[in-house]
Chain A
Amino acid sequence: SQELEQSPQSLIVQEGKNLTINCTSSKTLYGLYWYKQKYGEGLIFLMMLQKGGEEKSHEKITAKLDEKKQQSSLHITASQPSHAGIYLCGALRQRGNDMRFGAGTRLTVKP
C-alpha cells in the first residue's frame, strides 16, 4: 500500500468551482511537497510545507499541513481549465534520505 494516500483518485469539476485534494500518511511527515503534472510531462513544484499548521498560497491554490503533520490538503478556488492535470503529494521520510509520493489525483476541469 502507498505510504501516502491521496483522495480522491480522480476529480471532475465544472469551471469556477472550488475543490480539495487530500494527502494522508500514517506517519509524521517531514516536509510535504505538492507537485502538478500535466499529461505526458514532468512534474512542476507547487509548494512545500514543513511546520504543523502551516498554510501557503500561490495564486488560487492553497495548501495546508495539519498540526499533527499527518495530513495535507490542497484547495483550488474558482477552478480553471489550466488547473487540469495530476496533483501529487510527496514527503520526506524521517531519515531525510528518501522521498515518497502518493499515487496522484487526476483533475479535469470542464469549461
Chain B
Amino acid sequence: NAGVTQTPKFRVLKTGQSMTLLCAQDMNHEYMYWYRQDPGMGLRLIHYSVGEGTTAKGEVPDGYNVSRLKKQNFLLGLESAAPSQTSVYFCASSHEGWYEQYFGPGTRLTVT
C-alpha cells in the first residue's frame, strides 16, 4: 500500500496563477484533510472532508477550494495564488473521526 500520496512534491507559481494539489489514499479512509505548515505556526487546517462528496472549512480556508468527488482523492485548489500562500501543504486521512491521521509527504509551494 502506498498510504497517502501527494502530487506534486514541489511547485513554484507566480502571483495570480492557479493550480491544484492532488491527494490520494489507498486505505479506504472516510476522513481527509488539508493542512499548511509555516515556520513558528505549526500545522493549520485548511479544509477537510468526512466522506465522499462532502467538504468543510477549517481554520484557514480563505483563498482555497477543495473537492472530494471520489473517496480516495481530495483536491486542493488555489484559484489566484498569493505570496502569503507560500507554504508546505500536507494532506492526511483517517479511518473515522479525528483519530490517528496518516500524513502524506507534503508539497512545497512557493508563490513569487
Contacts and interface: CB of A to CB of B under 8 A. Distances in A.
Contacts of B59: 98, 100
Contact of A102 (B33, B42, B99, B101): B42
Contacts, number: 55
B41 A103 contact: yes
**Does more than half of chain A's interface fall in helix, strand or loop, or is it mixed?**
strand
Contact of A42 (B44, B45, B90, B98): B90
A103 B56 contact: no
B42 A42 contact: no
A36 to B, nearest CB: 11
Contacts of B105: 41-42
A65 interface: no
Contacts of B106: 40-42
Interface of B: 4, 33, 35, 40-45, 56, 58-59, 90, 92, 98-106
Interface of A: 2, 4, 31, 33, 35, 40-45, 48, 88, 90, 92, 96-104
